[in-house]
Every structure is written in C-alpha cells, then in structure tokens.
Amino acid sequence: MVKDDPLHLQSETALFYPPARPRRKTWLWLSLSLLAAALLAAQYLFFFADVIGTDPGYRQWISRYCEVTGCELSPLQDLNKISSDQLMVYSHPEIPDALSVDAVLINEASFAQPFPSLVLRFENLQGEILAQRRFQPREYLPGDLADMTMMPARQPVKLKLELIDPGQDAVSYLLFIPK
C-alpha cells in the first residue's frame, strides 16, 4: 500500500470523522426544539401565573406577561399584615337586645389587598364559646365603603357591626380573621 494512494487516505479519515450531515437539518431541529421549549414555558406561565405571582420578586414580570396574554393574576394577600384595633362593643342605641360593634382594621402591608372575612366570638368566664358569627366585607363595611373590594395599604378602615346580644354570660369578646 502506498501512502499517497487516495483510497488509503479516504479510509483513514473515515475512521476518525463521521460522515458529514447536512447542516440545514441540524439547525431546523435545534430551532424547533427551542421553539417547543419556549411554548412549553409560556404555557406553564399562563396556567401557573397565579401561583408564581404570589412572589413579590416575580410579580412585576408576571403582571406584564398577563397583560399581553390575558391570564388572570389574583391580588396579593397576607392576612398576617391585617390587624384590628379600637374594638368597642356596646348596646345598640335603637334596637333592644342588640349590640353595636365598632372597630378599625389596618392593612400594614405595602400593597392593597382584598378585605378579609371577620369572626366575632363571645365567651363566658370558663372560656366556652357562647356565640360566634362570621362577617363578610359587604356586611361590615359602612355605606360609602360597601362597594370597595380592596383594602388600601397602611390606611385605617372603620367598620361597624350589628348583632343580637348573646346575653349576660358573655363576658369576653374577640374579633379575628380566620385563616
């Protein structure tokens, strides 16, 4: 065998290099794979935007994405940042055997959030629950605030409740947000 023989050189290079593929097909498959991955990511974001949007770090980006795609993003909510203050329970001035309850809710979060439902509980001296009632926002927000759905950030909101008097045995009361 002669080293300058073209057949000999061709067989040696065949051992080291696979046959050349057309570059066009490689780019086509690569492009289609990247497009499929992008569509999968977009679909994931569309269906899980609500969950991902609860993280304040991603919320800005997810809200922009939802503006373009039309996905729904629920408002942020942190019930631990809502507190009640100035709770006052007294006999109703006009209705016998009824109570009026005044309180102030404060959203201490840096964002507006939906008004929560509230529970008012009355207990006796032994700590037994005598009466308990859950109030929805439309029940405790007074007149001009009744149509509000979002509780403004860092602003007190006065609320007024009216209910039947649980009786003389009710010596303590508690207003809280159920989790």
Residue 103: CATH number of its domain: 2.70.50.60
Read off the tokens for 27: 């780019």
* Any domain includes 12: no
Q: Are strands 113-114 and 156-164 parallel, antiparallel or unpaired?
A: unpaired
pLDDT value of position 79: 87
84-99 burial by CB neighbour count: b if 16+ within 10 A, else e? Answer: eeeeebeeeeeeeeeb
For the chain, the 3-state helix, strand and coil shares in percent, each to the nearest 5, are 35, 30, 35
pLDDT at 15: 58
pLDDT values of the chain reduced to their tens digit, one per residue, 179 residues: 555 555 555 555 555 666 666 677 788 888 899 999 999 988 888 888 878 877 777 888 888 888 888 888 888 888 889 988 888 889 998 999 899 999 999 999 888 899 999 999 999 999 899 999 999 988 888 777 777 888 999 989 998 888 899 988 988 988 898 88
39 and 125 within one domain: no
Residues 172 and 87 in one domain: yes
Q: How far is CA 123 from CA 28, 84, 120, 160, 174, in A?
A: 73, 19, 10, 20, 8
Residue 142 lies inside a defined structural domain of this protein: yes
**Within a domain: 5:** no
Instruction: For residues 94 and 146, state if they share a domain.
Output: yes
Number of folded domains that form the chain: 2
CA distance 172 to 94: 23
Residues 60, 132, single domain; the answer is: no
Task: Report the pLDDT value the prediction gives residue 35, as an integer from 0 to 100.
Answer: 93
Structural domain span for residue 32: 21-69
> How many whole angstroms separate alpha carbon 81 and alpha carbon 88?
21
The type of residue at 148 is: M
pTM over the 0.75 mark? no
The predicted pLDDT at position 146 comes to 75
Nearest to 154 by CA among 95, 100, 83, 103: 83
